Amino acid sequence: MKIVTIMGSPHEDGNTATALAMFEKHVAGENEVDRIDLKDFEVNGCQGCFACQQTAGAPGCVVPDDGNDLLERVMAADAIVYATPLYMWGVTSALHAFLERHLSLVSGYMSEDWNSLIAGKPAALLVACGGPVEGNADVVQIVFERVCTYAKVKPVGTFIVPRCTIPDELGEEAEGITSKMADGIIA
């Protein structure tokens, strides 16, 4: 199985990177992991022009950046994992812009012709947050569920590693959360 992981954090050695590396370790071996570190690419948000809707079978976004190439990597994968620290009760701006660009993967939204170029792929969201889950990471879960519905992917879930402050101290709780996520992705 080819799993694409999309790292939305600007910190290559932070809590999210550490938790995502735990997940990648859990799925390593028989699975191929293709990590996309969004900080290394230029991906702007959607412009709402809908030019992409004129291109069938490919992300036809007209924004001149790395977005289409990254979406091709997502399309080539068998499963998708998005990873982000919790910023203002949501995903980072880099991941948000990339999720906006998923518009170009979907056509005929809410019609009988509704189609997605990533339909049926298992998808999960990994979130590292400094506080508790309750009253803190609830909105990001709702947004991810809606992204999954829109893109017609198979939601494996939102996996939240709470109370992250020091990457080297994530420990057993983070290992358990990322192991559960790995089980869901490769099931």
Q: Which domains does the chain have, with CATH numbers?
A: 2-186 (3.40.50.360)
Average pLDDT of the residues of the chain = 94
Q: Where are the beta strands (DSSP E) in 63-146?
A: 79-85, 106-107, 115-116, 122-128
Residue 106 pairs in a beta bridge with: 116
pLDDT at 110 (0 to 100)? 76
Mean pLDDT of 36-62: 92
Highest mean pLDDT out of 5-9, 46-50, 130-134: 5-9
Alpha-carbon distance of 148 to 171, in angstroms, equals 29
Mean pLDDT of 6-25: 96
Given a cut of 90, whether residue 109 has pLDDT beyond it is no
- Look up residue 62 and give its two tokens: 């007209």
Mean pLDDT of 150-169: 92
Burial tier of 146 (Cβ tally within 10 Å: 0-12, 13-18, 19+): exposed
What type of residue is 10? Answer: P
pLDDT at 80 (0 to 100)? 98
Which residues have CB under 8 Å from 111's CB, separation 6+? Answer: none
Mean pLDDT of 74-95: 97
Q: What is the band of 143 on the pLDDT scale with cuts at 50, 70, 90?
A: very high
Mean pLDDT of 126-144: 94
Alpha-carbon distance of 98 to 100, in angstroms, equals 5
Residue 2 pairs in a beta bridge with: 32
